[in-house]
Amino acid sequence: MFDRFLKKATELVAKGEPFVTASVVRFQAPISGKPGDKAIIFVNGGIWGWIGGGCAQPVVIKEALNALADGRPRMVRISPSAAPEDGIIDYTMTCHSGGTLDIYIEPILPKPHVLIIGRSPVAQTLARLAKAVDYRISVVAPGADQEQFPDVDLLQTDLNLDGLKITPDTFIVVSTQGEGDEEALEKAAGTNADYVAFVASSIKAKKVLEYLGEVGVSSERTSRIRAPAGLDIRATSPEEIAVSILAEIIQRRSARRKPLAEANKSALPVLNKQSRDPVCGMLVDVSSAKYTSEHNGSEVYFCCAGCKQAFDRQPEKYTLSVSS
């Protein structure tokens, strides 16, 4: 199982896909999950592997998506009796089986991707700085060589971006500075990257953006271009300009991380439409619930056949307890 887990995780890392690992680190019987059990949770809420039964999975998925939102690992405890402890997120065990699980949840996020178009001094400095903070760096620049960009992940000497993996999480910086500015910025504006920055003075940037409008680039796309690039820190040297651009990228990543994770969370059926089992209190996924009953014109959802049977015998008992 561990070999399969490593293989699956390695495949996701190679694809640059974010995911979360969940590992059982402690248990108290009776419960099905055991130390060493592991699972992978995908951005759409799907789960691969095993960390325990029906009571554990919704909690793990919920906290996995929270981990994608803030980028931080966490320890989660699912127990019949909550005993608050620093550094542990407590959930009440509602399944009849009882028992306690401690689960370590860790987000695995792809490295930020910075695509630099151009070989200017700013471009070279930015490549070094971004690599120093462990970003993935691609450089596209006619005439560029390995000596100028020694540590980048990809060096391409033509402006064809079709073969590159560019996502909304890619940060594009055009730093051609006189070498094909218009063509390079037009290529960058044609991608789906949320961040496109142009290293140029305000006057030059205005002229190049006007040119893009004349050749048919939509105003919606040109309005996304940051020009001049970087935070306004009164930078003058190539090194200072590169610092201002990297700072802006870091700021942008921090600002958009949670909304992106929340968007992923909204795609998860198990967390979108839930109903509480009136017998045991567990949250049940409405879209895939196997056990249901109708009561007073409303659908009631259960986690298991035992809860449904108990409710069907004495529905008034449980509807009263839920409403009280």
Instruction: Please provide the DSSP assignment of 33-78 as one string.
Output: --TT-EEEEETTS-EEE-S-STTHHHHHHHHHHHHHHH---EEEEE
Q: How is the chain split into domains, by residue range? A: 2-110, 113-256, 272-323
Q: Which amino acid is at 313?
A: R
Residue partners of 286: CB distance under 8 A and separation at least 6 = 273, 274, 275, 301
What is residue 28's predicted lDDT score, i.e. its pLDDT? 79
64 in the Ramachandran plot: left (φ > 0), alpha (ψ -120 to 50) or beta? alpha
Is 99 within 8 Å of 27 (Cβ atoms)?
yes
For residue 179, give both structure tokens.
């070498």
> Tens digits of per-residue pLDDT, 186-239?
999 999 898 999 999 999 999 999 999 999 999 999 998 999 999 999 999 999
What is residue 148's predicted lDDT score, i.e. its pLDDT? 96
Cα distance between residue 142 and residue 173, in whole Å = 15
> Tens digits of per-residue pLDDT, 176-187?
989 999 999 999
Cα distance between residue 91 and residue 94, in whole Å = 9
Note the Cα 14 to chain centre separation in Å. Answer: 15
Looking at domain 113-256, its CATH architecture is 3-Layer(aba) Sandwich (3.40)
> Tens digits of per-residue pLDDT, 103-140?
999 999 888 899 999 999 999 999 999 999 999 999 99
What is residue 263's predicted lDDT score, i.e. its pLDDT? 47
Give the H or E element holding residue 9.
Answer: helix 2-15
DSSP H helices, 45-179, are 56-70, 121-132
Residue partners of 74: CB distance under 8 A and separation at least 6 = 63, 66, 67, 89, 104, 105
Give the H or E element holding residue 283.
Answer: strand 283-285
